[in-house]
Amino acid sequence: MKSRGGAADGGGTSTDTSAGVPLGGSPAASTLTEEPAAPARTVVRRAGAVRWYGLALAALALVLVCGLSLSVGARSIPFATVWEVLVRGGGGEEAFVVRELRVPRTAIGLLAGAALGLAGALMQGLTRNPLADPGLLGVNNGASAAVVTAIAFLGVDSPIGYVWFALLGAAVAYAVVYLLGSSGRASTPERMVLAGAAINAMLIAYVSAVILSDLSVFDEFRFWAVGSLAGRDTDVVVQVGPLILIGVVAALGLARPLNALALGEETGRALGAHTERTRLTGAVAVALLCGGATAAAGPIAFVGLAVPHLVRMVTGPDQRWVMAYSLLLAPVLLLGADVLGRFLVSPGELEAGIVTAFFGAPLFILLSRRRRIAAL
């Protein structure tokens, strides 16, 4: 005969069905359901520690490549001499090379690389397309069209003059793409990409028509269009630096909303993300980042596409980590390409934009074939 609790008389342990815990049972039995949580927390901690260690290694790599950018080239200068010039000043030919030529060049590489990498991560998050980059939405060609116009019709012939036209052209192109992509009921990633493709086609046609009709314009434009860190001075850094830094701050502030929107717009709104505000702020940040980088160094390909994609293979889809890693590793790639270009055709130089495309694109294709493109 069974008792009212459901256990046999004089036999097993009675059970409180509302709690699911044996009455009078051992403490170990009552905690069986809690044990799997401890290994899960350990795995999360270890993953976070690995990401922090990786971020520290990325920062170390950035410091190393900056040192190489300041010390190697047609005339190699020892690290000790570079440090002496930077800390204590001094005169002489080596001091001139370091301060007047290589410091602005390295600073442009840092700014442009960080801007391109972060803009690529932001654009991929906004469009939910892992193959999005600054060239996809017309930013690079908008800058190119503005520079061609300045050369052909306004007589501008210096990097300082190119900066503001390139920045304006990139901003206008992206604004047009954003307006076209958001017209109607609501903006969607697909509409943005289609609008970008249409604007890109128009801008390419315009640039080709202008440079092919005037060889002098072509000769002037091609040195900027190839993408290079050489020939820029501190005035370029002063002009584009604040704009890029504003774009960096705006982009980093969008990491959490992008994580929420990656779950879907309805879920993102339920989590507190404002869809239109996020996209509008992202558009402003992309215009500042891509416009500043393209204005300073020219339309450099591959950096904004490849770095966030490769980073995502390591960090996963969390935009906070993707942006942090891209901010450090994209300048490593750009400055590394610039340093490598100084050796490939020595005593001459190969522009950084050529190196990133020539070596980076095959590597990206190889990685894409060996591994699936990381989902956002």
State the pLDDT confidence band at 362, using cuts at 50, 70 and 90.
confident
pTM equals: 0.81
Identify the pLDDT of residue 221: 86
For residue 27, what pLDDT band results from cuts at 50, 70 and 90? very low
Domain contains 14: no
The one-letter code for the residue type at 30 is S
Structural domain of residue 119, as residue ranges? 36-370
Q: Residues 101, 267: contact at Cβ < 8 Å?
A: no
Average pLDDT value for residue range 53-79: 92
The CATH number of residue 229's host domain is 1.10.3470.10
In a domain, 2, yes or no: no
**CA-based nearest residue to 296, from 325, 336, 338, 255:** 338
Looking at residue 370, its pLDDT comes to: 58
Residue 376 lies in a domain: no
Is 21 in a helix, a strand, or coil?
strand
- Residue 6 gets the label, from left (phi > 0), alpha (psi -120 to 50) or beta, of left
Cα(236)–Cα(103) distance, rounded to whole angstroms? 12
Residue 104 CB neighbours (<10 A): 20
1 pLDDT more than 90: no
Of the candidates 168, 167, 177, the residue with the CA atom closest to the CA atom of residue 115: 167
- Over the stretch 68-118, which tens digit does the pLDDT of each residue have? 999 988 788 888 889 888 888 777 888 888 988 899 999 999 999 999 999
pLDDT digits (tens, 9 = 90+) for 139-148: 888 989 999 9
In the block, tokens 């450090």 appear at 328
| 13: in domain | no
Query: Do the domain assignments include residue 236?
Result: yes
What letter does residue 16 receive in the DSSP assignment? E
| Calpha distance 186→74 (Å, rounded) | 54
- CA 200-259-287 angle, to 5 degrees, is 30
Residue 196: inside a domain, yes or no?
Answer: yes
Produce one character per residue of 296-306: b if its CB has 16 or more CB atoms within 10 Å, e if not. Answer: bbbbbbbbbbb
The 10s digit of each residue's pLDDT in 267-315 is 777 777 777 788 889 888 988 898 889 888 888 888 988 899 889 888 8
Task: Specify whether the CB–CB gap between 144 and 203 falls below 8 A.
Answer: yes
What average pLDDT does the structure give for the chain?
A: 81
32 burial class (0-12, 13-18, 19+ CB within 10 angstroms)? Answer: exposed
Report if residue 25 sits inside a domain: no
Cis peptide, bond prior to residue 78, ω within 30 of zero:
no
**Tokens standing for 298?**
């020219």
pLDDT value at residue 326 = 95
- Closest residue by Cα to residue 129 from 250, 281, 304, 267: 304
Instruction: Point out the least confidently predicted range of 9-13, 218-222, 354-358.
Output: 9-13
Q: How many domains does the chain have?
A: 1
* 3-state SS, one letter per residue, for 265-296: HHHHHHCCCCHHHHHHHHHHHHHHHHHHHHHH
- In the chain, the percentage of residues whose pLDDT exceeds 90 is 27
Q: How confident is the model at residue 189 (pLDDT cuts 50, 70, 90)?
A: low
